[in-house]
Chain A
Amino acid sequence: MDFWSNPVKAAGDWLTGVFTGWGMNADVAHVLVAFIGILLLITVVMVLDIFLVWTERKIVARFQDRIGPNRLGPFGLIQPFADIIKLIIKENIYPIGVDKVVFNLAPVIMMMSVLLLWAVLPLAPFLFGVDLNVGVLYLIGVGALGTLSIIMAGWSSNNKYALLGAFRQVAVMISYEIPMVVALLIPTVLSGKMGVNEIVKAQDVWYIVLAPLAFLLFLISATAELGRAPFDLTEAESELIAGHHIEYSGMKFGLFYAAELLHTFTFGGLIAAFFFGGWRGPWVEQVPMLGLLWFLIKAMIGYWMFGWIKYTLLRIRIDRMLDLNWKFLVPVSFVLLMFVALMNALLRDTNFYALGMFLSNILFGWVTLEILRRRSRREREKVEGLTPVVEAGH
């Protein structure tokens, strides 16, 4: 096999050969090499995470018309390392009444739930942890672990604010999981597969074109799942101070912070894989490793989108947020799933498949908006007797 067509496998085979050459059992060598591979992937992801801190701070600075970190190193690139040193030398505080085991376990599980997502993300045509045939469900299952860690952090901190933050986050996560699952079912329906790599392989036309509304639904529910503005009610610094990680200090807080950033980047990667064709791009057939570059670029665009949303929109109230989910996103997502499945079956073998899917999605969005407009007009007519303090802008 040519080395450059799949260098990771070549390196793995070489290492297995070395281990068996030492007289090691072939199965044990396989497990060991797989273990080293996992360790490498996690290391790369964690190093990437360090630079995400810098990226995040630069993005927020741009959106707020500032420069951001610019003192340490070129473009402030050394800043995250200074941050880490600061976090490590901070005092490790346990408030009174803390449940120590659960308190210490929560940030670890949080980080773990994010790293587990990378197991099924295809980075390049031949570069993925495992091509699970239930990949889409696996992602949802791992998300449940994140919820669990937030509950553990909120409860074990022995702090009312932390507990309130955890309650909110759980309410949000349990409800926004539904539109998210349905939004992920749409790529599944379009490709006929549930494995993430299979879905990427099936995207001859990117699914952002075939199902733009599913992409929007996924973006909204992912923002809620990540707990970022406008859905960052779990932190809500003006009312809950910091939510579930209020009592954490030093590196344990750092883990929460790093996990949040990496979670966002991972969801950027998921968006890339499900809607932007993952590692697909020009010249990938000739040089498969180029897929990694395309994937990272697309994931970064997804990450930047989450930042864009976070620093542009205001936080919304918890009851409005749950209303938005249960009264709008859930019904819309169910109808959309049926609609897309139907259109897919009708248009699959025609010549205008991509165009027809795109236009039918636009039509669906327009009808939804029109129904919403009618409804809101009726609601407004009900209270017409009242003079508005501020004229509504729409």
Chain B
Amino acid sequence: MTAMQIVFLMTAAVMLVSAFMVVTTKNLVHAALWLIVVLFGAAVLFATLNAGFIAVVQVVVYIGAIAILFIFAVMLTRRTMSETGAGLNRGWWLSAVIAVIMFGGLTWLLQGWDGFSKTAPALPSGFDSIGALSQALVSPEAFVLPFEVASVLLLAALVGAVYIAFQKKGEE
């Protein structure tokens, strides 16, 4: 077993346990904190795959913004220090079955893909992965169109948010 495999197995184990805690813990803020552990695990996996940029963006966006907003929303809407309602309702076994079926289906689908059993090729030393990524994002042969479309979508979301929050003059 190589060192990378050991790192992967440990990360995966931590992620699985934390993901299980996210759905079973009764305290919503704790659930959000466990979710952060899961997101960190994802960042570690990206890092082991030589995708340093995506790993760091994962931390900045998911932990720095989204998870913190989750916690914020939970803290503002509920009295979480006292409330410990049941985390599960009667339909829990149904969702468990669906999750297992999804997992099985995905595994079955991916088994047909030839990249499933390959190891990641080693990057040549001195390879500028972030430079290559940024080139790809703005080059017409690669991803410039999806990139710009995504930007326009975000801009539209921004304009929408401003419109909803905007107070017209004289209107209180």
Contacts and interface: CB of A to CB of B under 8 A. Distances in A.
Contacts, number: 64
B72 to A, nearest CB: 7
B64 A141 contact: yes
B6 to A, nearest CB: 12
Interface stretch (A2-10, A142-150, A272-280): A142-150
Contacts of B3: 27
Interface stretch (B16-24, B50-58, B112-120, B153-161): B50-58
B29 interface: yes
B38 interface: no
Interface string B109-138: 000000000000000000011100000000
B81 A158 contact: yes
Given A133-B130, A134-B130, A194-B130, A147 B64 contact: yes
Contacts of A194: 130
A163 interface: yes
A60 interface: no
A144 B128 contact: no
Contact of B60 (A99, A137, A148): A137
Nearest to B80: A155
Given A27-B3, A137-B56, A155-B71, A148 B130 contact: no
B1 to A, nearest CB: 13
Interface residues of A, number: 27
Nearest to B54: A134
B81 to A, nearest CB: 5
Given A97-B81, A134-B53, A151-B68, A144 B130 contact: no
Interface residues of B, number: 25
B45 interface: no
A134 B64 contact: no
A152 B75 contact: no
B44 interface: no
A132 B80 CA distance: 39
Contacts of A138: 56
A160 B54 CA distance: 37
Interface string A209-220: 000000000000
B75 A163 contact: yes
Interface in A152-194: 152, 155, 158, 163, 167, 170, 174, 177, 194
B29 A148 contact: no
B29 A155 contact: yes
Nearest to A171: B72
B68 A174 contact: yes
A143 B80 CA distance: 26
B81 A137 contact: no
B74 to A, nearest CB: 9
A133 B128 contact: yes
Contact of A170 (B72, B80, B129): B72
B56 to A, nearest CB: 5
Given A27-B3, A158-B81, A174 B128 contact: no
A301 interface: no
A143 B65 CA distance: 11
A140 interface: yes
A158 B36 CA distance: 21
B68 A148 contact: yes
Contacts of A143: 64
Contacts of A148: 36, 63, 67-68
Contacts of B33: 102, 152
A137 B128 CA distance: 16
Contacts of A177: 64
A145 B63 CA distance: 8
A75 B35 CA distance: 49
A144 B56 contact: no
Given A27-B3, A194-B130, A141 B56 contact: yes
A142 B129 CA distance: 21
Nearest to B81: A158
Contact of A133 (B36, B57, B71, B129): B129
A151 B64 CA distance: 12
Contacts of A174: 65, 68
B51 to A, nearest CB: 10
A172 to B, nearest CB: 12
The residue among A99, A134, A140, A142 with the most chain B CB atoms within 10 A of its own CB is: A134
Nearest first, the 3 A-B pairs at minimum CB distance are A144-B64, A141-B59, A141-B60
Interface of B: 3, 27, 29-30, 33, 36, 52-53, 56-57, 59-60, 63-65, 67-68, 71-72, 75, 80-81, 128-130
14 contacts: A27-B3, A99-B27, A133-B52, A133-B128, A134-B130, A141-B57, A141-B63, A144-B68, A151-B68, A151-B71, A151-B72, A163-B75, A170-B68, A194-B130
Given A151-B71, A170-B68, A177-B64, 11 more contacts: A133-B52, A134-B130, A140-B60, A141-B56, A141-B59, A144-B65, A147-B64, A148-B63, A148-B68, A155-B75, A194-B130
